[in-house]
Amino acid sequence: MFNIQIIKALLYNFRINTYLSKIFFYWKKTHNLNVKKDFCSITNVRYRTFDQKLIKRMKCKMLNAPPYKIVDLNSENIENYDLFCSKEKNNQGYQNKVEWLRERFKEGLRYKLLMIQNEENDYESGGFIEYIPGESVWRGIHAPGWMAIHCILVSNKYHNLKFGSKLLEECYNDAKGTNGVVILTSIEGGWEPTNSLFVKQGFQKVDEFPPFELMAKKFVDDGPSPKFNVQEMTSDEKKLKLYGIKTYQCPYDDHMSKLLKEVAKEINSNLTIKELKDSTSVQENGLHPYATFCVFSEGKFLTRMPYSKEDILKPLAEIDIKFKGE
C-alpha cells in the first residue's frame, strides 16, 4: 500500500510516472487485475494490489532526490544567481533586497541557495534559507545568543525530498557555539512557515503571539529562551488612518508600498510608511513580530505582506464596521 508521501513524489516526477505506468499496465495485463480507476487516479490506491518487492523498488526510485548543491551567497557572487523567492532582477524591490543583503552580510547573515539539477542538466534555484545571529535579527523578537532564521522555502515540486532538512543542517552547522536556532512560525501559514517541519527537527514552542509561535531548537539546556518583543503603539501612531512599517528584507516591499499608496488614494486617506532601517528598530518596533511589511489603521492591525489591494481594503472595511457598531 502506498502512503501519501510516495504518491506526491510520484506526481512530481514525470520520468517516475512513465516508469510506474509501464509496470502498472504490465501487471494489469498479466495478473488480470480488476481496476476500477485508471492510472491517472493513482491516489485512489485502495483499488490497487502490488507485489511488495515491486513496491520497494518503486519507493527507492521515486524518493531519489535529483542532484543538488547549496550555494553560499555573498557580496561577490550574489549577482551570479537569483534569490529564488524573486527572480526579477530588474525589479526595484529585488535590487533593494540585494543591497540590503550586502549590508547584512557584514552582520553575519547567511543566505544559502538550493540549486537543483533540472531535466536539461542545468542547475536552477529550488529553495533557500536565510538566517542571522539573534543580536541582528530583523524580527520583533529578543534572541541574543541564538541563530535566527528569517526565511526558509523550498519549491512545491521538490517537497518530501528532505531539502528543507538539508537547508536546516546548513544553519545548524553555522549555529554551533550558540544557544540554538530560533524561527518565527504561524499556525495560519502563508508568508511564514507552519511549525510541522521544525517539530520533527526537535524545535519546541518557547513563546507565542497568536497566530505566531516562536520555535526554538536548543543546543544548551540552561541558556535563556528567545521571546517576542511586542508593545503598544504610541498615541500619535494610533491616530493614523493608514500606517505602514516596512523593511527591505523582502524583495516585494516596493510592490506592497505601491499597493498601500493606491489604497490611500482610493479612500482619500493620509498615509505614513515608516522604514525600519536597522535590526534594533525592527526588534523594538513594538507593533508586530513580523515587521517586514505591516499595515495598521488607528492603532489596529490590518494585515502583513499584502499581495493585493483587497488584502488591505477587506480588513479595513471590517474594522470600520466594528467601529461604527461600537
Question: How far apart, in Å, do the first and last CA atoms of the chain sit?
Answer: 57
Work out the burial of residue 53: count CB atoms within 10 Å of its CB; fewer than 13 is exposed, 13-18 middle, 19 or more buried.
Answer: exposed
Residue 42 DSSP SS3: coil
Handedness of CA 70, 75, 76, 79 (dihedral sign): positive
Q: How far apart are CA 155 and CA 84, in angstroms?
A: 9
CA 272 to chain centre: 28
Contact of 81 with 70, CB cutoff 8 Å: no
Q: What is the pLDDT along the chain (326 residues), one digit of tens a residue?
A: 445 555 555 554 544 444 444 444 444 444 444 443 333 333 333 333 444 544 444 444 445 789 999 999 999 999 999 999 999 999 999 999 999 999 999 999 999 999 999 999 999 999 999 999 999 999 999 999 999 999 999 999 998 999 999 999 999 999 999 999 999 999 987 778 999 999 999 999 999 999 999 999 999 988 899 999 987 788 888 889 999 999 999 999 999 999 999 999 999 999 999 999 999 999 987 789 988 999 999 999 999 999 999 999 999 998 775 444 44
Q: Where are the domains of the chain?
A: 4-62, 68-228, 235-325
Residue 123's beta-bridge partner residues?
Answer: 117
Work out the burial of residue 293: count CB atoms within 10 Å of its CB; fewer than 13 is exposed, 13-18 middle, 19 or more buried.
Answer: buried
Contact of 134 with 144, CB cutoff 8 Å: yes
Predicted pLDDT at 124:
97
Predicted pLDDT at 154:
97
Q: How far apart are CA 180 and CA 203, in angstroms?
A: 10
R_g over Cα of the chain: 24
- Domain 68-228 matches domain 235-325 at the CATH topology level: no
Q: How far apart are CA 125 and CA 43, in angstroms?
A: 29
Contact of 163 with 261, CB cutoff 8 Å: no
Tell me how far CA of residue 227 lies from CA of 151, 194, 205, 209, 220, in angstroms: 18, 18, 10, 10, 16
Predicted pLDDT at 223:
86
DSSP of 221-280, one letter per residue?
TTSPPPEE---PPPHHHHT-SEEEEE-SSSTTHHHHHHHHHHHHHHTT--EEEEE--SHH
Q: How far apart are CA 122 and CA 249, in angstroms?
A: 29
Q: What is the CATH number of domain 68-228?
A: 3.40.630.30
Q: What is the CATH number of domain 235-325?
A: 3.40.30.10
